[in-house]
Amino acid sequence: MHVFISHNKLDKEVAREIAVFLASENINVWFGEWEISAGNSFVEQINKGLLGCTHFLILWSSNAATSNWVRRELQSTLAQAIKEGIPRIIPIILDDTPLPELMADIRYLRYKGGSEEDRRSIVNSVTGGEPSMNFIKAIVKKYHEIIKDAEDPLGLKACPKCGSTNLKGGTFTDPDRDKLYYILECKECGWGDWTQ
C-alpha cells in the first residue's frame, strides 16, 4: 500500500495530520514535506510519489481548487486510474468548495478538524479496516516525552491540561508540619498541582 497525499501548501497542517494518521498504521505515505528536501527537484519527487501509488488522497478546498500543482497531480492520477484502474482516488473535503466534475461521482470524506472519527474514516478508506491503537500509543508516548521534566519537583514542563508552557512554580512551607511543598500553576487555564 502506497498513499500519495495531494494538497495545497495552505492546507499543509491538515495534510500533515492525515499523513501521521496513516503512517502510525505502518502505511507507506508520500507527503511532500517528508519527501522533498533542499536540493531535490519538486517535479521529480512528485513523479516518484505518484508512480506506483495505490491510493491518491486529494485534500479538496478553495486553496486546492486554485492550485496548479494539485490540478496537475489530479489530472495525472485520473489519467492513470482510467488507463490502469489504479490508484484509488479518495477526495477529502476541507470546506464547501465543490469537487471538479470528473470527481463528482466519487464518494468523498468530509474532514471535521482531525477528530477520532476523521482518523477512523481515513484509515478505513485506505485499509478497509479499523485503525489500530498505534496512533494512540504514539501520542501518549510523545506526550510524556514532551511534558516531563526530570529537573522540576513536579516533573512537568508543560501544563497537562492545556499544553501551555506558561507555568508558574513556587514553594510553600507548612510550619505546623515542618514540610516543604512545591506548587505549580498554569497561567493560561488555571490548572494547578502540588507535591512535597
Q: Is the pLDDT of residue 62 over 90?
A: yes
Q: Is the pLDDT of residue 55 over 80?
A: yes
Is pLDDT larger for residue 99 or for residue 136?
Answer: 99
Q: What is the pLDDT of residues 140-167, one digit of tens each?
A: 777 767 777 666 666 777 888 888 888 8
Beta bridge partners, 90, equal 57
Q: Under CATH, to which class is 2-135 assigned? A: alpha beta
Give the per-residue pLDDT at 52: 83
Give the mean pLDDT of the chain. Answer: 87
pTM: 0.70
Q: What is the pLDDT of residues 177-187, one digit of tens each?
A: 778 888 888 89
C-alpha distance from residue 87 to each of 113, 180, 191 (Å): 26, 64, 49
Residue-wise burial string across 130-147, b where 16 or more C-beta atoms lie within 10 A, e elsewhere: ebeeebeeeeeeeeeeee
How large a percentage of the chain has pLDDT more than 70?
A: 95
Instruction: Cis check for the bond before 87: say yes or no (omega within 30 of 0).
Output: yes
The pairing of strands 167-174 and 88-93 is: unpaired
Q: Is the pLDDT of residue 74 over 80?
A: yes
Domain boundaries, the chain: 2-135, 148-195
Q: Among 139, 161, 152, 160, which Cα is nearest to 182's? A: 152
Q: Among 136, 140, 125, 138, which Cα is nearest to 1's? A: 125
